Amino acid sequence: MSTEPFKNVILIPQTNQLLGLYTIIRDAQTKRPDFIFYSDRIIRLLVEEGLNQLPVTPKSVETATNQTFEGVSFLGKICGVSIVRAGESMEQGLRECCRSVRIGKILIQRDEETALPRLFYEKLPDDISERYVFLLDPMLATGGSAMMATDVLLKRGVKQDRIFFLNLICSKEGVDSYHEKFPDVKIVTGAVDECLDENKYLVPGLGDFGDRYYCI
């Protein structure tokens, strides 16, 4: 697992706890209930770090002891946008941190004739251009689906610097391709894998995240 920094990539702290969580979900012998449980723990950490990146403004409140506390308040509203289907696994983690958060969905699948990603469906909040957006997809391999989803957001008026792309594992190739097109989008991740294999799968990776989370 690489810890080499990249521009506009926020790698959450590589603690022993995090390494233990990734060891469990990367293990091919891990059963589905455990895969879900420990993936959800990592997703919660990613969401918390994404929230750390949002701008704030000073705010004073009166405490129950009649004292003034100088704190902060978030600037602006947020929403989550999941890339269906695997990205939907990250929605609950966002909801657990942000009550009543709006959720949008983008469905992108590979065209069997061209082998290229194709947009099939989008459903986004009407005011998404006024929000900070957490784009949700567990894996960033080649970046094709993520780039198409980001194009959808930009066409709806969302600015690059208001998009935070949250994923559990990414590749250097995927990060480079994605940031070549969208340099101002921040990627929040827990692991940067070594490379992609000849089939464009992450190495060492963990297999198909959506299949392991929903099916196996």
Q: Is the pLDDT of residue 3 over 50?
A: no
Mean pLDDT within 132-153: 95
The first and second tokens of residue 118, run together, are 């194709």
Asked if 79 contacts 93 with a C-beta cutoff of 8 angstroms, the reply is no
**CA separation, residue 176 to residues 68, 78, 123 (Å):** 46, 26, 28
Kindly tell me the burial class for residue 138, based on how many C-beta atoms sit within 10 Å of its own C-beta (0-12, 13-18, 19 or more).
buried
CATH topology of domain 9-55+63-214: Rossmann fold (3.40.50)
Mean pLDDT within 153-182: 96
Q: What pLDDT shows up at residue 112? A: 62
Q: What pLDDT shows up at residue 199? A: 83
Q: What pLDDT shows up at residue 99? A: 86
Q: Model-level pTM? A: 0.92
Asked if 121 contacts 106 with a C-beta cutoff of 8 angstroms, the reply is yes
pLDDT tens for each residue of 19-32? 999 999 999 999 99
Mean pLDDT within 115-127: 87
Name the strand (E) or helix (H) holding 134: strand 131-136
Q: What pLDDT shows up at residue 201? A: 87
- For residue 114, what pLDDT band results from cuts at 50, 70 and 90? low
- CA-nearest of 99, 194, 204, 182 to 135 is 182
Buried b / exposed e across 73-84, counting CB within 10 Å, b at 16+?
eeeeebbbbbbb
pLDDT tens for each residue of 53-77? 999 999 999 999 999 999 999 988 9
Specify the range with the lowest mean pLDDT, choosing from 40-44, 110-114, 118-122, 177-181.
110-114
Residue 9 CA to residue 179 CA, distance in Å, equals 10
pLDDT tens for each residue of 133-142? 999 999 999 8
How many other CB atoms sit within 10 Å of the CB of residue 110? 12
- For residue 95, what pLDDT band results from cuts at 50, 70 and 90? very high
Report DSSP letters for 67-104, one per residue. -EEEEEEE-SEEEEEEEETGGGGGHHHHHHHSTT-EEE
Catalytic residue list:
110, 114, 208, 211
Name the strand (E) or helix (H) holding 20: helix 16-26
Q: Is the pLDDT of residue 83 over 70?
A: yes
The first and second tokens of residue 214, run together, are 């929903």
Distance from first CA to last CA of the chain, Å, rounded? 25
Mean pLDDT within 97-104: 92
Q: What pLDDT shows up at residue 7? A: 86
